[in-house]
DNA sequence: AATATACCCAACCGCTGAAGT
DNA sequence: CACTTCAGCGGTTGGGTATAT
């Protein structure tokens, strides 16, 4: 394909097919950014083909839209994905799978592209290193019963070190617009899946104001499989009350972590992976299935 | 210091569904 | 109702950079 050949052949590339003559591709220049930003600031976004034309950009509407949404749009956050955001990504992905734009609606300032990149580069990489499929039951259970509780513990510890102890990693303080006082999973499980309700559940978790997340979320129809995911925001409790999956394993892992001073690590998710307890947990999962 | 490898992320592509004609 | 256009989504790629050898 022409486009694939053209990609990667230089910093400024042009498509040769007749319906896209002289359309620029590749990295954006400062001048292009400025042109697009100025145009959208004055005229608003939407109608991206006409934006591209009227702004005087030799770009496709698609390209302009992507550049605006992922880079130029106000309040876009890049890098330094917080513990809360990491937890949220794991939680929401466990429910919705690769529906990145939907997940992104719950992380104000984050783009679907960034979340997708995060998942692919960090989470999938770990699954690969653990030699299991990212969609496998083993890996999902490891996330639910090992990594997510750890993340919550860290969040709690961090909060306690800065102020008073939170009641839960999913306390209502973190969801200022959540007037129901329940966490997202509870809302889902109890049938509160009206599209209009969705964006109000927890837009403030990362501390940023909501912007494009005003977009409505389609109704949930695929949640039943994961309805037991959170019980009051405590994954460990859930593991003990729910499926009964590897209860002892989870408790043993806790013991392992505390006896090894595990909870003092860095701030990134990376340090949660690939430790002995995780490998052991996965091995137990495989044994149980055998 | 030079080279190889791994990682990150911006940008592209094809597909799908909604909206417009 | 059929067709066309367009916006949005998820998957993929490749260049730049960091790290290891």
pLDDT tens per residue across span A131-173: 777 777 778 888 888 888 888 888 888 788 776 544 443 333 3
In percent, the amount of chain A with pLDDT more than 90 equals: 0
Backbone angles phi, psi at A9, to 5 degrees: -100, 15
Distance CA A246, CA A288 (A): 8
Strand C reaches within 7 A of the A113 CB: yes
CA A210, A220, A85, A129 torsion-angle sign: negative
Residues with Cβ within 8 Å of residue A167, at least 6 apart in sequence:
none
In this complex, the residue with its CA at the shortest distance from the C1' of nucleotide B10 is A27
Per domain, the residue ranges of chain A are 2-72, 83-289
Between A81 and A179, the higher pLDDT residue: A81
Mean pLDDT across chain A: 61
Look at residue A283 in the predicted model and tell me its pLDDT.
64
Strand C reaches within 7 A of the A234 CB: no
Give residue A45's pLDDT band: very low, low, confident or very high (50, 70, 90).
confident
The pLDDT tens digits for A248-270 are 434 433 433 333 333 333 344 55
Look at residue A81 in the predicted model and tell me its pLDDT.
82
Q: Quick check: A119 pLDDT over 60?
A: yes
CA of A108 to C1' of C19 (A): 32
Strand B reaches within 7 A of the A216 CB: no
The pLDDT tens digits for A57-102 are 888 888 888 889 888 888 888 777 888 888 888 888 888 888 888 8
**For the domain A2-72, what is the CATH code?**
1.10.10.60
Strand B reaches within 7 A of the A128 CB: no
In chain A, positions 8-67 with C-beta closer than 7 Å to nucleic chain C are 8-9, 11, 46-50, 61-62, 65
Torsion angle of C-alpha atoms A139, A92, A146, A234, degrees rounded to 10: -150
CA of A216 to C1' of B21 (A): 27
Look at residue A275 in the predicted model and tell me its pLDDT.
56
Give residue A184's pLDDT band: very low, low, confident or very high (50, 70, 90).
very low
């Amino acid at each position: 394909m022409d486009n694939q050949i053209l990609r990667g052949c230089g910093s400024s590339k042009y498509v040769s097919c007749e319906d896209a003559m002289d359309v620029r591709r590749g990295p954006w220049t400062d001048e292009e950014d400025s042109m697009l930003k100025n145009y959208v600031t004055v005229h608003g976004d939407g109608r991206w083909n006409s934006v591209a034309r009227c702004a005087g950009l030799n770009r496709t509407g698609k390209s302009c839209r992507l550049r605006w949404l992922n880079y130029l749009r106000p309040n876009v956050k890049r890098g330094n994905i917080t513990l809360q955001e990491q937890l949220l990504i794991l939680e929401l992905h466990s429910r919705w799978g690769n529906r990145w734009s939907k997940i992104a609606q719950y992380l104000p300032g984050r783009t679907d592209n960034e979340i997708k990149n995060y998942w692919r580069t960090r989470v999938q990489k770990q699954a690969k290193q653990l030699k299991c499929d990212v969609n496998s039951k083993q890996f999902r259970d490891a996330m639910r019963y090992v990594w997510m509780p750890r993340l919550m513990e860290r969040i709690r510890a961090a909060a306690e070190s800065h102020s008073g102890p939170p009641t839960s990693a999913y306390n209502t303080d973190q969801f200022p617009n959540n007037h129901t006082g329940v966490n997202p999973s509870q809302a889902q499980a109890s049938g509160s899946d009206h599209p209009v309700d969705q964006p109000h559940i927890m837009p403030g978790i990362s501390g940023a104001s909501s912007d494009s997340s005003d977009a409505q979320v389609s109704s949930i129809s695929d949640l039943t499989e994961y309805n037991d995911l959170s019980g009051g925001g405590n994954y460990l409790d859930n593991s003990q009350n729910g499926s009964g999956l590897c209860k002892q394993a989870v408790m043993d892992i806790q013991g392992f972590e505390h006896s090894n001073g595990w909870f003092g690590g860095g701030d990134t998710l990376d340090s949660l992976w690939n430790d002995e307890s995780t490998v052991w947990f996965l091995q137990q999962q495989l044994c149980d299935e055998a």
